[in-house]
Amino acid sequence: MIIKNIDYIEVDSWLKQQNLVDTWHADFFEWKKHLLLASKKWPWIKKFYKGKDNWLGIFDNDLKAIYWYTIVDNEMYDGFLISDKKTPGAGIKLARALTDVTTNQWTKNWSMCSDKYLKFNQRLGYVEQDKVKLNNGYEVWLLCRQKF
């Protein structure tokens, strides 16, 4: 499998071909608003909403998974990891590759997830920092991992 940077046009085209059951991830820009909602409790998170959108993709002949991240002030925020259900392991490979792709660009890496994805994120080295129920009804964990 090959991992490379991709643009949103490729992401959007791929997303339209996916059968996303989770409406939270059906629209990237709607999903990204959770940064604004969460910033009411964690004000420093808001800066990531305005950060430059970066995308990684993993390919095995064609695109199998996508991952969004942004780096602001020596901190990274990542999320919106979606993988093709027919390619087991593509998402975890892409998530692990993110730290290699962004080497020396951040010291703290923030993310959020629901209870459903907590164990997945713990496997990647994230530690739970806090939990909040957003006003859209979603309950999310604030996660962080640090470079040593």
Tell me the pLDDT tens digit for each residue of 37-79: 889 999 999 999 999 999 999 998 899 999 999 999 999 999 9
Is 29 inside any structural domain?
yes
Is 132 inside any structural domain?
no
Calculate mean pLDDT across residues 101-105. Answer: 92
pLDDT at residue 131 in the model = 94
pLDDT at residue 37 in the model = 87
Is 134 inside any structural domain?
no
Number of helical (H) and strand (E) elements in the chain, helices listed first = 6, 7
Nearest to 47 by CA among 36, 61, 59, 31: 36
**pLDDT confidence band for 106 (50 / 70 / 90):** very high
| Helix, strand, or coil (residue 144) | strand
Q: Examine the pLDDT at 85 and tell me if it is beyond 90.
A: no
pLDDT at residue 24 in the model = 64
Is 126 inside any structural domain?
no
| Percent of the chain as helix, strand, coil, to the nearest 5 | 35, 35, 30
Is 48 inside any structural domain?
yes
Amino acid at 42: W
Over the stretch 128-138, which tens digit does the pLDDT of each residue have? 999 988 777 77
Is 91 inside any structural domain?
yes
Is 62 inside any structural domain?
yes
* Length of the chain measured in residues: 148
CATH of residue 92's domain is: 3.40.630
- Lowest model confidence (mean pLDDT) among 23-32, 74-83, 85-94, 123-132: 23-32
pTM, full prediction = 0.91
> What is the count of structural domains for the chain?
1
Over the stretch 136-148, which tens digit does the pLDDT of each residue have? 777 889 999 997 5
Could you give the CA distance from residue 54 to residue 34 in angstroms, rounded to a whole number? Answer: 17
Is 14 inside any structural domain?
yes
- The per-residue DSSP string of 48-106 comes to HHSSPPEEEEEEESEEEEEEEEEEETTEEEEEEEEE-TTSTTHHHHHHHHHHHHTTTS-
Range of the domain at 19: 2-106
